[in-house]
Structure 1
Amino acid sequence: MKKIWISLAGFLAITSLAAQEKPLPSLYGTGSWNADSLGNHRVVVSVDRPGDAVLATMNWRRRDLNPEAKNLIVVDAKTGKRVMNVARFTVNREKGEVAFQPQTVPGEYYIYYLKNVMSGSRYYPTVKYPPFEETASAEWLKANKLTGKKAPKLPAATVEQYQAINDFNSFYPMEVIATQAEKEALLKARPAEKYILFTEDRRFPIRMTTDIPYKWIEEDRHDTFTGTADKGEYYTFQLGVWAARGAVNHLKVDYSALVNKQTGASIPASAFTCFNTGGIDVTGTVFEKDCSVPEGKVQALWIGAMVPEQLAAGTYEGTVTVSAEGVETKTVNLTLNVTENVIANHGDNEPWRHSRLRWLNSQIGFDDEVIAPYIPLEIKDQTISLLGRSVTLEKTGLPSQITSYFKETVTEIGTSGRDILAKPMALTADGGAWENLDFAVTKRKPATIGWHATNQNSRFLMNLDAQIESDGNMEYKIVLIAREDGEINDIALQTELAPGIARYMMGLGEKGGFCPKNFDWKWSVEKNQDAVWTGDVNAGIQLRFYDDKYERPLNTNFYHEKPLHMPVSWCNDGNGGIKLATTGDNMLVNAYSGKRAVKKGDRLYYYFNVLVTPFRTINTDKQWHDRYYHGYDFIDKTHDFGATVVNIHHATGINPFINYPFLRTKEMKAYIDGAHALDMKVKIYNTVRELSNSCVEMFALRSLGNEIFSEGPGGGFSWLQEHLDQNYIGAWFVPALKDAAIVNSGVSRWHNYYMEGLDWLVKNVGIDGLYIDDLAFDRMSMKRVRKILNRTNPGALIDLHSANQFNDRDGFANSANLYLEHFPYLDRLWFGEYFDYDMPPEFWIVEVSGIPYGLMGEMLWEGGNKWRGMIYGMTGRNPGYGVDNRPLWKFWDEFGMKGSEMIGYWVSDNPVKTGKDRTLATIYRKMGQKTLISLATWEDQDAEVTLQIDWAKLGLDPAKATLHAPAIENFQPEKTWKPGETITVPKGKGWLIVVE
């Protein structure tokens, strides 16, 4: 006969179950009702005897705080009518007593106990839980002696079930709390333990941090765990640490090998990882993480191990040891039963397994391989050559010259260059000129060349470490070490630009446009501003300033939740800033830091990046071929529409959950396969800025503290408030799907997960790229994204949408300036939401078109301006905002835009000129055959222009030429002019004129 041992806690658990009258699983279920009006949770009770008042006693074990402050609504199940005569007595987290007047007997009643009211923005809602409403009549209360604080003896309403609106909202089992008595009994049974350890299966993620679940009382499992894994599976499980008697600091987890006692085969200890105590960060660096548990709190420890695919099936046994400072060490006996089955993709195809947690520590994409279309770097003497540019270094390590070989069209690279610098860049500091002590190239890779220089003057020693990448990004990390105590007047980076280079400018609170002759800016944490770009279409630089404590701030509505850290070196307590000043024909960009006091040995971290633009040549043929349909529709319909690329947003049938495209993958693959059969591409919305609450790993990620998610005030949609402990930022919400997101923390290991997820989607689902809605990851992550796509799907595309962030909420950031470091790896821009397309052409060229950076774009807000757009080769995007490009696409095909040469109005030798500053002409030339002239005006009235045409440069005979504007639906009527004839360009519009 098998003996059964029951601990005190286990006995208390069993007696508690008996008090419920039903086994706990049957007490929890789901129902169907209007959650928008009544909330997500209710108790079903039955009344079998008539009476003027009955008492429902609910041992509801609620995880929410202050339940006594929330409303209760009783509804007759049969009639659907609200019962108004209701009285409350004991209401706390463990128990609720509610008396009510039954209407239907026998019958069932629903007691809704988390009614909420949603208000505010549709997509960023405010949800409140109203207080209890006193709706009972005084007569009823008095007649049934319900006016006191203690519940009188009344006929009992029987609890039938605790229900949630669906399984996703259910609290069972991991959010059904243990009572205080149960916890005290558990502690009494384990009097010497400073903390209590629990073991838990991956199927039941630990959700609460302020309570332990009743499930743990019931199971009473502390030092053993048994699981079943397939061969090749990355198997995960959990330990729960309850700091019951004091804080538990600096948790550490160690492992033995798991050994098959029959065969001696083993899973090595090195196969194990605890994600809460360390990992590999977003730079590929191994790190240890301090995992400590405050007194009274619960900490989940997620542990995983790779089961070798070649391992023999059988039972493997070993131990997991948990230790911490000043407390006892605990050992868990771990048994893993390995099946004969070999699982695909280590279990990643089934998110419930949590095998994807290992993606957090992925190093995919960390290498120095060149990313197309860039070419390997070459260094000769101290000149580094890269695609379309070169950089010559001084012995100090700073550039003496930067040269661009891009032609003004930005569609070609020439042989003669355009120098960007009028003088070598210089970091000036008190103490005189720098004496170079050493210079050495420290890294020679196809995609990266690094160097180190040591310099000194009388006041400072300078250690300079820098590198340049094949796309034109230079990263400088300069550390100045004070050689003596004293007052410093200034330390500044001075960059003097050659004549004509500083034609345009954006950043530092200035909208994109012509570069001012003089400009002064100061550091401010209220502004998401740390960079300035200035240049011409074919030669420019961005300078971005930071220090050794830099963290990427949040953006797009959330900047002030996590703003820029002011760099101590450059900002210098508000003394620092940036001045642009005209000096003759040159422009001096002076990034100064002002007066400060230093002590001998002080280190000042003057870090900055230099981005050299353009990054690559513009591929106009790609612009004409890749015709976007931005919407989820039948693939045959989008094909018949004429689109070649489909963007699948979130909140759609095959990609419903924001930034978690892993729950409808079969449907997504079927859709993509259908598109590929029609020679179309499908890209999906997927970013890292925020994450859906449907993410299977949500609670595992939450167990990592503030590593993955930003800290914040909580709130937001009801699911978030009811299932997440506080300290998060509620983000985008989709009402129809009840999809609620929270904000990610900027740069974290979630980026590693994102990379592996992207690789999985490309290989297993067949996506053709990404539609990114504002960027929330760093430059290194963007390079990894591009590598992952290129290696499996070389034709994959990335387009970036950005809302206008030049506002107080976003810290007055220019979207193009904010994301410029990512532009080398994009295929198209879509700027943007809330953009003003009545801005002048200098704004368009800098902030909308992408042309000075080697990109092209499309317009978004209200469809943009189709006539001005064609000046830059842009259209609106179908089908949003009433855009229908089919007539324009038809004309493109009839003219033959593929193979034409784009020569913009910004090109000094453009063969077609208007003679006006605000009515401009870009041409698309098919030399010797025909030319398309795109005209658009920014005048405040109709513009009268007479085109000045260099016929020889078009390869056409003016005596035989005609200027014909074909009829294009919703664009222009048909019209013909003779050479030299005046053309009227309607206010705010333009023409497409074929010359042949």
Structure 2
Amino acid sequence: MLVQRSAWVMMGVLLAAPMVLSAQTDGVHLRWDAQAFGNHRYLVKVSAAERAVAVTLPWRRRDVHPEQVAVIVTGPDGKVVGNVLRGVIDQAQGQLVFEASQPGTYAIYYQPYVSNGRSNYPTVTYAKPAETADAGWARKVGKRWDKLPKAEVLRYEAVDDFDAYTLMERTATPQELQALLAKHANQAMLLFPETRDNSVRMFDAIPERWAQRGAGGAFSDTALRGEYLSFQVGVWAPERALSNVTATFTALKGPSDAEIPAQALTSFNLGGVDFTGKPFTTRVDVAKGRVQPLWMGVDVPADAHPGVYRGEVTIAAEGVPAQVVPISVTVGDGQAVAHGDDDPFKLTRLRWLNSTLAQDDTLVKPFTAITADKGTLGILGRQITLGANGLPAQMATRFDERMTGFNKQWQPMLASPMAIVVQDASGKHALNASTGALPKVVQDGPGKVHWQSEGQAGALRSELTGTLEADGTLTLAVTLTATQAATLDDIRLELRPRNDIARYQLGLGRQGELAPASYDWKWDVQKNQDGAWIGTVNAGLEFHLRDENYQRPLNTNFYHQQPLRMPTSWSNGGQGGIRLRAGQGSYAIDAFSGARSMKAGESLHYDIVMRVTPFKTIDPSKHFAERFFHKYADLDAIKADGANVVNIHHATPINPWINYPFLEAKAMREYVDAAHQRGIKVKIYDTVREVSDRAPELPMLESLGHEVISAGKGGGFSWLQEHLDGDYIAAWHVPENRDAAVINAGQSRWHNYYIEGLDWLARNEGIDGLYLDDVAYDRTTMKRVRKVLQAHRAEPFIDLHSASQYNPRDGYINSVLLYMELMPYIDRLWFGEEFDYEKTSANYWLTEISGIPYGLMGEMLQHDGNPWRGMLFGMTNRLGWSEGSDPRPLWKAWDAFGISQAQMIGWWVHDTPVRTDRKDVLVTSYVRKGKSTLLSIASWAPEKVGVKLDIDWKQLGLDPRKVKLNAHAIDAFQPEASFAPGAAIPVEPGKGWLITVEPAG
């Protein structure tokens, strides 16, 4: 086991004799092959060889239909016993008769399973009962099993500590339930206080310990000063459903008039603070027969006087008498470190769920404070000018085409002001302001402003709230209300970017390419599509159409299990869509919603989220200096290979569990410290797309319904099926360490936990950043991620990997569009698995893979990429990821040339200094003016071609009469060669050259 402490102690699984898992072997192996026998067994002792022995296993199972699952008996020799008969098999017990041909210890495995499917997405099914007994032997056994010799039950065992059923998973028997209910006749709500050491794990049954202990009673526990103490009250509805369960706390009274105020106590299931920082409440109903744990917490003050603190929590439900649970907390003399958070198993971190850390409107690098001047809002390299109606009248950019700096002059992006148009029988009515004055811009902080405007469009009254953030995100919440009954032909958005801006387009079912002359798109829930990006390298516009019910869909294989909510306004029952049309003076984008009728007073929300790109400049010198080793490995070997940034995946010794990097803290700290001593940065894999079953908080998260854990059909790896309630989506599984995960909801308080967790990691582990693998959170959380890491690191480093999401299971969403909202806060891209580097165009590479139009650079992954085409964008593969991914020869060539001192001028720049005489063979120049230039040449030509170079020697600062063109030998890339200026250079299809233009002699 990789966990630092015994899971038996931490998860409360020590069972009363004879059920304790023991290190004794009794002639059988303590560990066994779970794939052959399952995860659970009983050991029974047979004193003498017998034709048949009987045994009753008191297994108290939580699976609902144990009679439908096979049982396997093995003898002292480990061989399977064929002669086995089954008696009464239910949740309480299992009656068996088996042949005992020799004395000794027999093992009875009672949940054997078969695992199929992909190893990382297993499909586990439980073996069905089968008749294996010989008919003659069965006849001799007869039906009087009570007369047979009895095998002695020794104990229960699990394949490992983590798989073992806990005390909270041993179900009460029907007789125990009957006795409990008799004591509480006509009581609709039974309460069971429980400490944090015994997380409630069953929601359709109560555990043996509750039935034997009885309902009611007090909660009592101990805590240190400054510790956050979590606890539970289990609510059981045995007779009928409970509606609107509530919890109310009193203050906890301590010694010498000391007090812990009621405000220091929290009930997590009943509400909290959401991932955007807004308070919320949750209605809790309990269905008949179900158990609902109410997780609670008390924040013990750091200066609390030692002693006993007493108070109450009152639990109530509609139409049910309220019940009081006394609370007693003994505060010790000791002082908790960081509220106790350094030990995840204490569950003090539950308070992180309601954290507002980094929930503010401050800035992160490189963004600058928003300026406002007479309706013109200034952000880094961009401007948005508002009209009186609150919509953008103009947008402009100063980013240069090289993406490394800014032009002196502003480049306008719109040919005409953005408009919302209502069309009816009387004509077109553009949204106009009630007054001609510009809306007042209110500064929320250096990183955010907002404004409001009221207006009219035909028979509709408008209320608009706009926000702009320093990264370039513009949100327009537009409410249109009918002042009278209205029949409308259309409500639409008209957006008119200039033709020189509308060069490329992606989204709406199109991959990155030149903007189409004409294109039509309609809403479809099977597609994760609600917007697009259109633009050129240094000026672009992303837009998304939403309403008040928007919720981020699931991604990465799970889109169809939580798809896009069709916006009532824009989609209009499938009538809505988007038209793209190239025009003479502008490019027309019309987002229409079609004909509809509105009642007087009826409102529709036409929300628009836009982002002005690029977000920031690129820094090729820094990019080429930061070299990745994408694998956990020996640090001296990593340094010797020339890498200086290491990405630590999950399923590694210092980060074993997916998206829960807290259980090997000491080992991680030692590795990070050792890396820093060698000048190597360390980034770890940690997202919230899914969470490992090893997270101690998982049972509590399950108690929140589907706030954190997504609804699903269950299944997956055996641990999930045996220890969760069945309503989840099974996610990634690592067979090597039996780590299984479930999919998290796209937006939840687990994001708050994640932010606090990153803060803890930065403070305690010294990590330099994150490796994000297809994340599930939105920009609200991404901003907080950046702020938290920036608070601890001068230059935090975040990179994002994505597999191509443009496929049916992911709803044909472009990865770059899916994650564009995160890109302002990311440093590098790695796009990625299933990206096609061979059959796609240079335009696709530029817009969908490179990240350059958005202010990022990256690397390649699928089949180790195409190194020749990659160099046009400064991209290689990553060292360490696979046997073929070896960028070291290119790194060596970079250093020999001095690429970190060069200016990168891409093939897309209108005045690029070097071109070829073919449009399908492109050149990016790395210029060290007056010294030498490295030419990256790559071909999209279908056959071998000879190309001539058209060189602007003045830009290179070189004399064409005094230069030589040399292709230095690079392993697995190119042979050594020399070319005369003006001579044809042979280029193989899909390949290219790195040619150094340098002064002769």
Give TM-score scaled by structure 1 length.
0.96
CA contact (8 A) 2:50 2:102 kept: no
Provide the residue aligned with 2:910 in structure 1.
Answer: 908
1:140 aligns with 2:132: no
Q: CA deviation at 1:657?
A: 0.6
Number of the residue aligned with 1:116: 113
CA offset digits 1:513-567 (Å, max 9, x no partner): 1111100000000001111001000111011111000011001000000000000
1:572·1:594 contact (CA, 8 Å) conserved in 2? yes
Matched, 1:129 2:129: no
String of CA shifts for 1:53-88, please: whole Å, max 9, x gaps. 110111211001111111011000x21111101100
What SS class does the counterpart of residue 712 from structure 1 fall into?
coil
| Match of residue 347 from structure 2 | 354
Q: Tell me whether 429-438 or 844-853 shows the greater mean CA deviation.
A: 429-438
Give the Cα separation in 1 of the matches to 2:600 and 2:223: 60
Equivalence for 1:712: 712
Q: What is the identity, as a one-letter code, of the residue corresponding to 2:865?
A: G
CA distance in 2, matches of 1:168, 1:747: 29
The answer to whether the Cα contact below 8 Å between 1:320 and 1:331 also exists between their aligned partners in 2 is: yes
* Partner Cα distance (1:340, 1:943) in 2: 81
Q: How does 1:368-407 map to 2 (within 5 A)?
A: 368-407=361-400
Cα distance in 2, alignment partners of residues 116 and 302 from structure 1: 33
Counterpart of 2:771 in structure 1 is 771
C-alpha deviations, 1:800-826, integer Å up to 9, x for none? 000011111110110001111111111
Output aligned runs, 1:300-315, within 5 Å.
300-315=293-308
Q: Which of these residues, 11, 20, 23, is aligned with residue 28 of structure 1? A: 20
Aligned to 2:256, which of 245, 260, 263?
263
Q: How is 1:867-878 mapped onto 2 (pairs within 5 angstroms)?
A: 867-878=868-879
Preserved CA contact (<8 Å) 1:460 1:482:
yes
What is the percent sequence identity of the aligned residues? Answer: 46
**1:145–1:152 contact (8 Å) kept in structure 2:** no
Letter in structure 1 aligned against 2:964: T
| In 2: Cα distance, 1:373 partner to 1:352 partner | 38
Tell me the CA shift for residue 277 of structure 1: 0.5
Tell me the residue number matched to 1:13: none
Question: What is the CA distance between 1:50 and its match in structure 2?
Answer: 3.1
2:618 is matched with 618
Q: Work out the CA distance in 2 between the residues paired with 1:884 and 1:113.
A: 49
Corresponding residue for residue 849 of structure 1: 850
Aligned-partner SS, 1:782: helix
In structure 2, relative to structure 1, the CA distance for the partners of 1:500 and 1:213 (3 Å cut) is same
Q: CA deviation at 1:486?
A: 2.5
**What is the aligned residue count?**
969
Paired residue type of 1:305: V
Matches within 5 A, 1:426-575: 426-430=419-423, 432-438=429-435, 439-575=439-575
1:88 to 74, 80, 86: 86
Distance 2:430 2:914 in 1: 50
Q: Counterparts in 2 of 1:22-421, with a 5 A limit?
A: 24-29=16-21, 31-76=30-75, 78-105=76-103, 107-146=104-143, 151-220=145-214, 222-260=216-254, 262-421=255-414
> How much does 1:217 deviate?
2.5
Q: Distance in 2 between matches of 1:724 and 1:859?
A: 38
Give the 3-state SS of the residue equivalent to 1:756 in structure 2: helix
CA distance in 1, matches of 2:399, 2:331: 60
2:346 and 2:93 map into 1 onto residues whose CA distance is 34
Amino acid at match of 1:923: S
User: Quick check: 2:190–2:215 contact (8 Å CA) kept in 1?
Assistant: no
* 1:470 shift after superposition: 0.6
- The answer to whether the 8 A contact 2:43-2:106 is kept is yes
Kindly state the Cα deviation for residue 192 of structure 1 after the two structures are TM-superposed: 4.3
Matched to 2:77, the amino acid is T
Gaps of 5+ in 1: 1-21
> Does the CA-based 8 Å contact 1:458-1:483 persist in structure 2?
no
1:945 aligns with 2:944: no
Q: After superposition, what is the alpha-carbon deviation per residue over 1:319-344, rounded to whole angstroms, capped at 9, x for unaligned?
A: 11111111111111111111111111
- Corresponding residue SS for 2:312: strand
CA distance in 2, matches of 1:915, 1:415: 32
- Cα distance between partner residues in 1 of 2:193 and 2:458: 63
Partners of 2:724 and 2:848 in 1: how far apart? Answer: 39
- Maintained 8 Å contact 1:690/1:741: yes
Deviation for aligned residue 1:944 = 0.9
Aligned alpha-carbon RMSD (Å): 1.2
Q: Which residue pairs with 1:3 in the alignment?
A: none
Cα deviation for residue 887 of structure 1 reads: 1.5
CA distance in structure 1 between the partners assigned to 2:43 and 2:499 by the alignment: 79
Q: Matches of 1:752 and 1:797 in 2, distance apart? A: 21
**Cα offset for 1:445?**
2.5
- Unpaired runs of 5+ residues, structure 2, are 1-13, 23-29
Residue 16 of structure 2 aligns to which amino acid in structure 1?
L
Which one-letter code corresponds to 1:411 in the other structure?
T
Q: CA deviation at 1:446?
A: 1.1
* Distance in 2, Cα, partners of 1:119 & 1:621: 48
The answer (yes or no) to whether the contact 1:369–1:446 under 8 Å persists in 2 is: yes
Determine the C-alpha separation between the residues in 1 that align with 2:469 and 2:944.
48
Instruction: Tell me if structure 2 keeps the 8 A contact 1:97–1:151.
Output: no
Helix, strand or coil at the partner of 1:101: strand
- Distance apart, 1:441 and its partner CA: 2.0
Give yes or no for the alignment of 1:954 onto 2:948.
no
Matched residue SS, 1:962: strand
Are the counterparts in 1 of residues 966 and 978 from structure 2 also a CA contact under 8 Å?
Answer: yes
- Indicate the residue corresponding to 1:601 in structure 2: 601
Structure 1 residue 116, shift from structure 2 partner: 0.2
Contact between 1:655 and 1:668, CA under 8 Å: does it hold in 2? yes
1:434/1:796 CA distance change after superposition, 3 Å: closer
Whether the 8 Å CA contact 2:115–2:122 is kept in 1: the answer is: yes
Write the letter of the residue equivalent to 2:824: P
Q: Distance in 2 between matches of 1:814 and 1:151?
A: 66
Quote the offset at 1:221 in angstroms: 5.8
Match of 1:8 in 2: none
Deviations 1:576-627 (A, max 9, x none): 0001001214210111101111111110100011110111111111111110
Shift of 1:23: 7.9
Counterpart check, 1:787 vs 2:781: no
1:723-766 per-residue CA deviation (whole Å, 9 max, x = no partner) reads: 11111010101111111101101110000000000110001111
Q: Give the superposition deviation at 1:949.
A: 0.5
Alignment partners' CA distance in 2, 1:351 and 1:25 = 29
Q: Distance in 1 between matches of 2:417 and 2:833?
A: 40
Q: Deviations over 1:4-57 (max 9, x none)?
A: xxxxxxxxxxxxxxxxxx983441326321111100001111111332111011
1:277·1:288 contact (CA, 8 Å) conserved in 2?
A: yes
> Could you tell me how far apart the structure 2 residues matched to 1:402 and 1:234 are?
50
Label 1:23 to 1:519 Cα distance change in 2 as closer, same or farther (>3 A): closer
Alpha-carbon distance, 1:316 to partner? 1.2
Maintained 8 Å contact 1:223/1:331: no
How many angstroms apart in 1 are the aligned matches of 2:35 and 2:738? 10
Q: Equivalent residue of 1:167, what SS?
A: coil
